[in-house]
């Protein structure tokens, strides 16, 4: 795991920018505290900060081919590097190290721009080809590793985090993008290719960016291939899924440093740990966090799994100074980010880093195998919506306009008129269109009201090769919620602790098989993740299989009214939000008042505004 950065001239000599790239690398040292490296060419300078995990002595970066004409830096891990190395060696390539990064330069030489199609792993890679004066940037299929870029002064700048781009002398356009702000208010994050800034972009997962001959071209190299199971019955399908999970875990346990796993006691993380136990006779370390409040505590089920599988288990009971830590967590994203589970994710990563350098997780299990309660809800609403005749649905949509803006029934009526996919998108809103109309003012209100509120998420249904609703919403989450919320959160919080996190359930072949399962092997009645649960039943106690889904939870509403109350007053009602001119002060005061005095107060909305204000305050200081 590393942080990577660089500056490349698009069409002219670059000049000496080594000091700027070194400053970029300096901003990424939390991602790679073990080493730094630099490569310089008249048209390109690449840099990196390394967290040593594989080939600790020989795996220094940047790393080049035999001639030194092709050079690479990488953030992440290539899990199939040994198979690739053997295949490339058989074709005459010579290797100097045991590093997975060295495989990249030879794979590029052998396969050209299609080399990412050969990779299995999590990665953000930059390759400079001196002979062609070509830069290649590529990002892993699911988006586990981030990659940002910007254009300035005839150059392309790239980095693992936006803060590194801001360490340069480039005149970046840091104007807030109204469409990105709208997406943040709707969903709590900003998805690729946008960032909160007009002048900085994210390279989307499964894409490659090439700079050559004065041109910049971005192409997509991976679209999930829905693979129906080869098995003919339940036992064969369970065998197939188990084999794929086991293979992925086996690959991802390769490391030259101590390795462990996050364990919540849920199906996903428990299956990963069970497979770790199956493929390894050595000690396995597991980590969980909890609260004294049983409503948010996961320690008991995690202990049950740890005892059953014989792991060395570590726990932490959280009682954080949330007002002290939250500004630092928000700052790690360099743009607004409102997922509350950053808090437990940070602390479980901090706990793990005290014992290991790599931790496996169960991330992706819900998206791949159909685990979210929202999926069951969408299927339920699909059945209910069919009660409205198709000929009447346009009438229902038109009726929405009869209601005054902000009427409680207005948005609910509108959702009833949406199709099933749009209803799923609308059910994800934090601030729905009516709420945004009440909240916003001025030019930003006019810009946001004119936007299609569904578009940022609904666009990800495009390309889904099936009309099955469940598979379509899984597809959507794999392209929107998973990379830009879940995986962004895990990357920043683990990297803030210089810890590498790996997600075996996001092996791309396993993902394609999971998506391709018939619906009855995903959700059947009130049971979710049916296929993965069948695998779990072979290794885990019955009480874990029947435990209700919980996930990372935390007492946000209580925090907002107690330990965060002063921060809310200063940030949400104070100058950070007020000075933007975007918000109606009366609407902000109403949200604070409702959270304090109403049992079902708007804590999710208030949390989003608090994180937005903290980001604004932090960015103003930079």
pLDDT of 393 reads 65
Alpha-helical (H) ranges within 312-441 are 322-331, 342-353, 365-369, 373-385, 393-399, 408-417, 420-426, 433-439
Give the C-alpha distances (Å, rounded to integers) separating 281 from 263, 310, 473.
19, 11, 39
Q: Report the run of H or E that residue 44 belongs to, with start and end.
A: strand 44-50
Domains and CATH numbers, the chain: 2-220 (3.60.20.10), 387-470 (no CATH), 556-621 (no CATH)
* Eight-state DSSP code of residue 483: I
* Eight-state DSSP code of residue 430: S
67, with CB counted inside 10 A (0-12, 13-18, 19+), is: exposed
pLDDT of 608 reads 97
pLDDT of 406 reads 47
CB 544 within 8 A of CB 304: yes
CB 359 within 8 A of CB 567: no
How much is the pTM? 0.94
CB 270 within 8 A of CB 304: no
Overall average pLDDT of the 230-252 stretch = 94
Q: Report the run of H or E that residue 122 belongs to, with start and end.
A: strand 121-129
pLDDT of 417 reads 55
- pLDDT tops 60 at residue 70: yes
Closest to 21 in 3D by CA, of 60, 49, 61 = 49
Overall average pLDDT of the 87-96 stretch = 95
Which structure tokens are listed for 8?
């490349």
- Residues 6+ away with beta carbon under 8 Å from 350: 497
- Tell me the C-alpha distance between 78 and 81, whole Å: 5
The CA-based dihedral angle spanning residues 551, 557, 560, 561, taken in that order and rounded to the nearest 10 degrees = -150
| Helix, coil or strand: residue 342 | helix
Strands 148-152 and 215-220: unpaired
Q: Cα-atom radius of gyration of the chain, to the nearest Å?
A: 24
Provide the b/e sequence for 255-266 (b: ≥16 CB within 10 Å): eeeebbbbbbbb
Overall average pLDDT of the 444-462 stretch = 95
Sign of CA dihedral 399, 400, 405, 408: positive
Overall average pLDDT of the 501-513 stretch = 98
- pLDDT tops 80 at residue 558: yes
CB 319 within 8 A of CB 555: no
- pLDDT tops 50 at residue 407: no
Sign of CA dihedral 391, 395, 398, 403: negative
Overall average pLDDT of the 206-224 stretch = 97
pLDDT of 239 reads 96
Closest to 174 in 3D by CA, of 328, 335, 43 = 335
Best-predicted range by mean pLDDT among 53-62, 155-164, 389-398, 593-602? 155-164
Best-predicted range by mean pLDDT among 62-66, 200-204, 227-231, 591-595? 200-204
CB 253 within 8 A of CB 280: yes
CB 509 within 8 A of CB 240: no
Which structure tokens are listed for 164?
């590194």
pLDDT of 185 reads 98
Residues 98-142 have pLDDT tens digits of: 999 999 999 999 999 999 999 999 999 999 999 999 999 999 999
| Helix, coil or strand: residue 95 | coil
- pLDDT tops 90 at residue 150: yes
Distance of CA 193 to the CA centre of its chain: 13
pLDDT of 409 reads 47
The pLDDT > 90 percentage for the chain reads: 81
CB 237 within 8 A of CB 521: yes
pLDDT of 568 reads 95
Overall average pLDDT of the 189-212 stretch = 98
Q: Provide φ and ψ at 203, rounded to 5°.
A: -75, 125
Length of the chain: 622
What does pLDDT average to over the chain? 92
Long-range contacts of 217-224 (CB under 8 A, 24+ apart): 221/114, 221/116, 221/117, 221/138, 222/116, 222/117, 222/141, 222/508, 223/463, 224/475, 224/478, 224/508, 224/511, 224/512, 224/515
Cα-based angle 248, 29, 51 (whole degrees, multiple of 5): 30
Residues 258-277 have pLDDT tens digits of: 999 999 989 999 999 999 99
Between helices 178-187 and 442-449, what is the axis angle to 10°?
70
- Tell me the C-alpha distance between 85 and 270, whole Å: 32
Residues 5-19 have pLDDT tens digits of: 999 999 878 889 999
Q: Cis link prior to 62 (omega < 30° from 0)? A: yes
CB 141 within 8 A of CB 508: yes
DSSP 546-613: TSPP--S---HHHHHHTTTHHHHHHHTSSHHHHTTT-B-HHHHHHHHHHHHH-TT--HHHHHHHHHHH
The pLDDT > 70 percentage for the chain reads: 94
- Tell me the C-alpha distance between 617 and 609, whole Å: 12
- pLDDT tops 60 at residue 318: yes
């Amino acid at each position: 795991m590393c942080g990577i950065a660089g500056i490349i001239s698009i069409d002219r000599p670059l000049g000496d920018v080594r000091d700027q790239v070194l400053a970029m690398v300096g901003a990424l040292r939390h991602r790679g505290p073990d080493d730094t490296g630099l490569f310089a060419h008249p048209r390109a300078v690449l840099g990196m900060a390394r967290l040593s995990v594989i080939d600790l002595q020989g795996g220094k970066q940047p790393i080049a081919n035999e001639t030194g004409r092709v050079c690479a830096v990488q953030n992440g891990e290539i899990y199939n590097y040994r198979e690739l190395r053997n295949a490339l060696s058989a074709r005459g390539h010579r290797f100097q190290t045991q590093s997975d990064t060295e495989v990249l330069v030879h794979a590029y030489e052998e396969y050209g721009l299609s080399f990412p199609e050969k990779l299995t792993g999590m990665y953000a890679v930059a390759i400079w080809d001196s002979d062609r004066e070509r830069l290649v940037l590529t990002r892993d299929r699911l988006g586990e590793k981030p990659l940002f870029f910007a254009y300035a002064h005839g150059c392309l700048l790239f980095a693992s985090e936006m803060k590194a781009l801001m360490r340069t002398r480039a005149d970046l356009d840091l104007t807030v993008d109204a469409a990105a702000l709208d997406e943040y208010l709707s969903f709590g994050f900003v998805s690729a290719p946008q960032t909160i800034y007009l002048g900085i972009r994210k390279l989307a997962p499964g894409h490659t960016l090439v700079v050559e001959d004065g041109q910049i071209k971005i192409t997509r190299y991976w679209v999930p291939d829905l693979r129906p199971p080869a098995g003919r019955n339940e036992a064969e399908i369970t065998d197939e899924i188990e084999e794929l999970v086991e293979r992925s875990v086996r690959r991802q346990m390769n490391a030259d440093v101590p390795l462990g796993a996050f364990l919540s006691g849920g199906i996903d993380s428990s299956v990963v740990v069970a497979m770790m136990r199956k493929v390894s006779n050595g000690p396995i370390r597991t980590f969980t966090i909890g609260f004294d409040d049983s409503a948010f505590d996961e320690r008991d089920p995690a202990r049950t799994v740890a005892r059953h599988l014989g792991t060395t288990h570590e726990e932490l009971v959280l009682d954080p100074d949330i007002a002290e830590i939250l500004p630092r967590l928000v700052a790690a994203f360099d743009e607004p980010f409102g997922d509350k589970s950053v808090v437990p994710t940070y602390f479980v990563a901090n706990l793990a880093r005290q014992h290991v350098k790599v931790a496996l997780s169960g991330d992706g299990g819900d998206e791949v195998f159909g685990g979210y309660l929202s999926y069951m809800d969408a299927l339920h609403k699909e059945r209910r919506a069919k009660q409205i005749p198709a000929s009447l649905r346009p009438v229902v949509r038109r009726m929405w306009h009869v209601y005054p803006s902000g009427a409680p029934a207005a948005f609910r009526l509108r959702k009833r008129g949406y199709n099933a996919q749009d209803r799923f998108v609308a059910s994800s809103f934090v601030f729905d269109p009516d709420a945004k109309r009440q909240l916003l003012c001025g030019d930003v209100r006019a810009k946001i009201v004119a936007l299609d509120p569904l578009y940022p998420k609904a666009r990800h249904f495009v390309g889904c090769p099936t009309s099955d609703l469940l598979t379509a919403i899984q597809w959507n989450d794999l392209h929107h919620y998973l990379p830009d919320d879940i995986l962004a959160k895990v990357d920043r919080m683990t990297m803030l602790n210089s810890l590498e996190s790996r997600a075996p359930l996001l092996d791309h072949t396993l993902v394609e098989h999971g998506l391709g399962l018939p619906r009855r092997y995903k959700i059947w009645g009130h049971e979710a993740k049916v296929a993965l649960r069948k695998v779990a039943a072979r290794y885990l106690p019955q009480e874990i299989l029947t435990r209700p889904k919980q996930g990372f939870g935390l007492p946000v509403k209580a925090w907002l009214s107690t330990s965060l109350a002063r921060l809310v007053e200063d940030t949400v009602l104070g100058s950070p939000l007020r000075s933007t001119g975007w918000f109606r002060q009366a609407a902000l005061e109403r949200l604070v008042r409702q959270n304090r005095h109403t049992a079902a107060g708007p804590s999710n909305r208030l949390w989003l505004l608090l994180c937005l204000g903290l980001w604004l305050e932090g960015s103003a200081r930079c």
